[in-house]
Amino acid sequence: MTISSGLCRLFAIVVLLHGQNHTSRWTRSMGVDQDVDAAVVAARAAFEGPWSRWTPYQRQCLLVKIRDLVEANFDELAIIETLDMGAPLTRTRNLKGAILQMIMYFSSQTMNVAGETSGNSLPGNITSMSIKAPVGVIGGIIPWNGPLISQWWVLGAALATGCTVVMKPAEDASLSVLRVVELLHEAGMPEGVVNVVTGYGAIAGEALSRHPGVDRIAFTGSTVTGRKIIEASATNMKKLQLELGGKSPDIVFADADLDKAVPGAAMAVFTNSGQVCYAGTRLFVQRTIQEEFTQRMAEFAKTLKVGDPLDSSVQLGPLISQKQLDKVLDYMHGAPKEGATLAGGGERLGGELASGYFVEPTIFANVTNSMRIAREEIFGPVISVIPFDTADEVLTLANDTEYGLGGAVWTRDMSTALKMVHGIHAGTVWVNCYGMVDPNVGFGGIKMSGYGVKGSRGHIDAYLYSKSVYINAG
């Protein structure tokens, strides 16, 4: 299938789905309670039926085949993602390696699920052990800022462990999810194993969260929505994996390699136009280099091309929607009123980009940790530069937040780096880099950034439960 024909067919699917009856692959484009219920019924039937008879080896083979199909169709997937949510094609294409690595990681985990035996402490000829079993139906609710990759944290773990899925992608960006599910069926996945209900979070997402037939919820999104999911999930005591908001500290010491730290700290925020949950938006710079660092970063920001995301020379695309644009501009225009100094950017782009949701990569200097731009998640390309003097001081400032998703430090001194690693209260800490994620290691959050982990053994365990077994051999 060519890219053009695939895109035309996908857009046709989205249009035709509106008002049609449910199938095990898709429901109406604006899903309601009945659609969620039908999808859960399909997922439960698959879990208790054909899918339950698949061996770990068969699931591994399926994942390997899926990986090959994703690779063969990746140019199409990247274009779909760019058209749907605005990320530059250079970014969506660059996700290829990470996504293929994730799929292969989860394929390796199919054969790595094991319980344990223990010494016999009971009278008689009793053998005791524990085994791991799939929990059942997973409700996956994913965000709009990167569905092409974020869907695999749910799909990969479910297919590896033998669970089934009802996926609710964000209403602003659903197309790459629909196309991936089509590829899953092409690879030989049974009907009903993965189901998609498109629609609004307040309707379809809420219905999925409270549905008694859903055994687990995996959610990535805002802290506000996370609270609602926790409340809704109480109907049947669902366990949750939540990756929520962030206001991550990125700490630059005076001894850092500035040639690496300047672009590294800038792109820790400007990547994906700042629409990344663990973006290092609170940039703490040691006072002795603050002025130089801010100037160099402002000059770097000027080299970034903002524009048509289908242009291969563009590095930053538009924000996702008018609503998000209004939110980001409100923060930008309000920061100087609190005393912050605009060091670069700060406006919506005009000219040929005036009709789009484009904003300049923006840097504010002389920010204090109490300002609104330093306290609240903006989800746009806005950096708050906050000066500090000592390591102890910056740790106090870094941890003075309700969030705990990520953090980073730039320094040549390993003792300083380790002090920050151990002192920053966050689920992930980077040293002299930012945003790297290995599915074998994983990442997660603490405090109001959620709980649970993506990747690593803990991720797989969240899709399994332990079953104790006692055998009387007579």
Active-site positions read 243, 277
Contacts of 219 (CB under 8 A, 6+ apart): 140, 141, 209, 225, 226, 229, 240, 241, 242, 243
| Beta pairing partners, 129 | 117, 469
Neighbours of 342 (CB within 10 A): 16
Residue 102 vs residues 106, 125, 160, 438, 439: alpha-carbon distances, Å: 6, 44, 11, 8, 6
User: In the numeric block, which tokens belong to residue 169?
Assistant: 């992608």
Residues with Cβ within 8 Å of residue 446, at least 6 apart in sequence: 404, 425, 426, 427
d(CA 322, CA 188) in angstroms, rounded, equals: 40
Which residue, among 133, 191, 173, has the nearest Cα to 181 in the 3D structure?
191
Alpha-carbon distance 54 to 80, whole Å? 32
